[in-house]
Structure 1
């Protein structure tokens, strides 16, 4: 039996879910990003108690199939952009479709219907968040960041960055440096 949780993003959340299952005497096979696989069926009472305990912790147990699918899509995108060393070299649509074993058109239509934005817009937002992180770490040049995130050019990354943040990547980086200098001057 599988259960789906709305967006577990930290090890703390993973441990919290495992602890709640243990308190209820529920054996789980695995707890991954957004997914819990249980060893056995659980009673309606256990499920409701588990749901209530998760809600108290700020997590949500998902029931609706479309919402579950959207959360899976979001998890694949977050994993693809934030947790892999390099964004996969294959087409985003092929990667997501292959990971979730669904036709991309179906995934795209479902995502847009539920979220009100396209999968591509969601990917761009996360790529820009990742670019911001990498700029703040100050370990890679803008060219290296563009390459790492599979942008066709630095100009393409810069245009999307400015469209999303309202700032050029170089100005964003300068702001960080100014803040650090101001902190040092205190």
Structure 2
């Protein structure tokens, strides 16, 4: 039985889900961002208990089909930007359509309607958070970061960074209190 879980954006979330499943005696085959596959169907009572336990961990068991698709979009974006070795070299729209096996127009309309923002803006917010992380590591030049994040140039990255954060990447690096946003708080 496949379960769809909202707000799963990190390995820590995956560990929390595994822990809850184990506590409830549910055997799972896989736990990935946004979903878990358990070996058996569960009763309504056990499903309610699972829902409560996940809520206590800041996660949410989903059953609405549209909400599930929206969460899958978010998870593919998080995986693509924060966990992949490198960003895909194809358009974001093509990548999402291929990964989710839906027409991009449908995905974009559904996402915008439900979240009040576009998929592209959501991707930009995540890219900027990843850029902040890379700037803090101080291992790559701005040009190398721009290249790794599929920006056309360091100038393009700088302009987008300033538009989103209000700061230049150079000034951000100099700040004593670096302001990063937790992945689960990016909307």
Query: Under a length normalisation based on structure 2, what TM-score does the superposition of the two structures give?
Result: 0.90
- Gap regions ≥5 residues in structure 1: 181-186
1:12 corresponding residue in structure 2 = 12
- Compare CA radii of gyration and give the structure with the larger one: 1
2:119 corresponding residue in structure 1 = 119
Distance, in Å, in 1 between the alignment partners of 2:56 and 2:135 is 36
Number of positions where the alignment pairs a residue of Structure 1 with one of Structure 2: 178
- Shift of residue 108, structure 1, vs aligned partner: 0.5
Distance, in Å, in 1 between the alignment partners of 2:159 and 2:144 is 16
**Is 2:24 the partner of 1:24?**
yes
- Shift of residue 129, structure 1, vs aligned partner: 0.7
- Shift of residue 154, structure 1, vs aligned partner: 1.2
Greater share of residues in helix: 1
SS at match of 1:41: coil
Query: Under a length normalisation based on structure 1, what TM-score does the superposition of the two structures give?
Result: 0.90
* Deviates most, 101-110 or 166-175: 166-175
- Gap regions ≥5 residues in structure 2: 179-187
1:3-82 superposed matches below 5 A:
3-82=3-82
- Shift of residue 44, structure 1, vs aligned partner: 0.5
1:156 corresponding residue in structure 2 = 156
1:173 corresponding residue in structure 2 = 173
Query: Aligned-pair RMSD on alpha carbons?
Result: 1.5
Distance, in Å, in 1 between the alignment partners of 2:107 and 2:61 is 21
